[in-house]
Amino acid sequence: GESVGLHLPTLSVQEGDNSIINCAYSNSASDYFIWYKQESGKGPQFIIDIRSNMDKRQGQRVTVLLNKTVKHLSLQIAATQPGDSAVYFCAEILSGGYNKLIFGAGTRLAVHP
């Protein structure tokens, strides 16, 4: 069936360290992936996206890696800051049909000083 899942529900890191948040997806027909950040009591915010014809995409302090062979997606945050503390969701879009995002359960990132 359709599913996007995350390996770790909670990730604790020290300020300044790099963070890696992982996500597994099950549908090989997915062709677009997005990472969202959700702070407490707020709506999710777009962080970075990647299309299935790419393996890596970099933004400001964030990098998304896509491994289609094992259907795995990761978000790397460099020099993690206290403001990065939030829940991170990965989402996939299936090719064909309407623009439907399938969300994973989320990983909570806790950054400690």
- Which positions touch other proteins (CB under 8 A)? 9, 31-32, 34, 36, 41-46, 49, 89, 91, 93, 95, 98-101, 103-106
Q: Which is closer to other proteins, CB of 12 or CB of 45? A: 45
Q: Which two tokens stand for residue 25?
A: 């997806």
Q: Which two tokens stand for residue 58?
A: 């970099």
Q: Which is closer to other proteins, CB of 36 or CB of 111? A: 36
Min separation Cβ 16 and other proteins, Å: 28
Which has the closest alpha carbon to 33: 93, 89, 87?
Answer: 93
Which has the closest alpha carbon to 7: 105, 111, 94?
Answer: 105
